[in-house]
Amino acid sequence: MRVLGIETTCDETAAAVVRLRDNGSGEILADEVMSQIAAHSPYGGVVPEIAARAHIEIIDSLIKRALDAAKLKASALDGIAAAAGPGLIGGVLVGLMSGKGIALATGKPFLAINHLEAHALVPRIAGGLAFPYLLLLASGGHTQILAVKGVGDYLRLGATMDDAIGEAFDKTAKLLGLPYPGGPAVEAAAREGDPTRFPLPRPLLGRPNADFSLSGLKTATRLAAEAVAPLRPRDVADLCASFQAAIVDVIEDRMRVGLRLFRERVGAAQGVVIAGGVAANGAIREAMGRFCAQTGLPLIAPAPRLCTDNGAMIAWAGIERLRLGLVDDLTAAARPRWPLDVTAERALNNKA
């Protein structure tokens, strides 16, 4: 089974081909990603119109590059998977329509993929990870603790009440005059800093639910920066280290609550997974390692290139759904918001 995956939900244009091996793992035959960092850097964040335009300009040639690298023609594929949301709607439409066009032209099954589900399932690409497992999904737009019970079967145990973790990193970087993308810039500066210099808060620490709230931490960081302005390089490094240490403490605490809720509502977990762009952060990966050592559960952390947005995770989610017969028709809509938890989706639909 070989599936083409297309990803255009934010500021990476990506196309990949993944093959399902006989042992149930996946083999990445091609993985092409075109970053838009240079285009968005002057603005300190992603500009939706610029992102959509860049996707349009590159998507066809990138898909061709992926097929050429995999040494396949589109007619030899077993399915076409494209991210249908959640994300910036202009970009989502570019990838979704491209995938539908290839599926229509080749007569191959089409799979409209939830970008969050792709993050949730990609740790299974290496094989050996069984359901159910506890997932921390952390990116620029999403922070959730989920019970992953099966393909299409998710229970949200906790979520952010305001900023996502990646968003908090990006806003802190911008506040401190660091370059875009902010997450890697803050992490790099934090390596040179003193994490104990600024006593920043740990929001919701010890609360019985598994939710996050990071806007207060962001505000406290701003106030600490204003108190020592004008900022010297040492101040910036210490602020970054203190901010990152607070994030790490919050994650460990929230995951402990998340695991308790998992055991109460689902049962025994087969492992703990971290996914999403923030999962590439070294300090957070180390913290998750400590958490798993304390709980006796294995930690599954995808390679950093599979944490950030990529086509391989879309293709793999397509394989997971295709082998269960969960195929979509060509009327599948682009969705700027698309919760994984069915209960959350019902609430969203009722609100609309």
Token pair of 217 as six digits: 């931490």
Domains and CATH numbers, the chain: 2-123+305-351 (3.30.420.40), 132-304 (3.30.420.40)
Altogether, the residues listed in the chain come to a count of 352
What does the pLDDT average to over 296-322?
Answer: 95
pLDDT recorded at residue 348 = 44
SS (H, E, C) the chain: CEEEEEECCCCEEEEEEEEECCCCCEEEEEEEEEECHHHHHHHCCCCHHHHHHHHHHHHHHHHHHHHHHCCCCHHHCCEEEEEEECCCHHHHHHHHHHHHHHHHHHCCCEEEEEHHHHHHHHHHHHCCCCCCEEEEEECCCCEEEEEEEECCEEEEEEEECCCCHHHHHHHHHHHCCCCCCHHHHHHHHHCCCCCCCCCCCCCCCCCCCCCECCHHHHHHHHHHHHHCCCCCHHHHHHHHHHHHHHHHHHHHHHHHHHHHHHHHHCCCCCCEEEECHHHHCHHHHHHHHHHHHHHCCCEECCCHHHHCCCHHHHHHHHHHHHCCCCCECCCCCCCCCCCCCHHHHHHHHHHC
pLDDT recorded at residue 229 = 97
What's the pLDDT tens digit per position in 58-70? 999 999 999 999 9
Reply yes or no on whether the pLDDT at 41 is more than 90.
Answer: no
What is the band of 180 on the pLDDT scale with cuts at 50, 70, 90?
A: confident
Whole-number Å distance between alpha carbons of 134 and 271: 6
Token pair of 262 as six digits: 């998992």
Whole-number Å distance between alpha carbons of 198 and 194: 8
Across 38-52, 237-251, 257-271, least confident range:
38-52
What percent of the chain has pLDDT above 70?
A: 97
pLDDT recorded at residue 352 = 46
pLDDT recorded at residue 42 = 87
Cβ pair 151, 291 in contact under 8 A: no
Q: How many CB atoms lie within 10 A of CB 115?
A: 28
pLDDT recorded at residue 139 = 85
Identify which of 254, 138, 257, 136 has the alpha carbon closest to the alpha carbon of residue 202.
254
pLDDT recorded at residue 306 = 94
What is the band of 140 on the pLDDT scale with cuts at 50, 70, 90?
A: confident
Reply yes or no on whether the pLDDT at 336 is more than 70.
Answer: yes
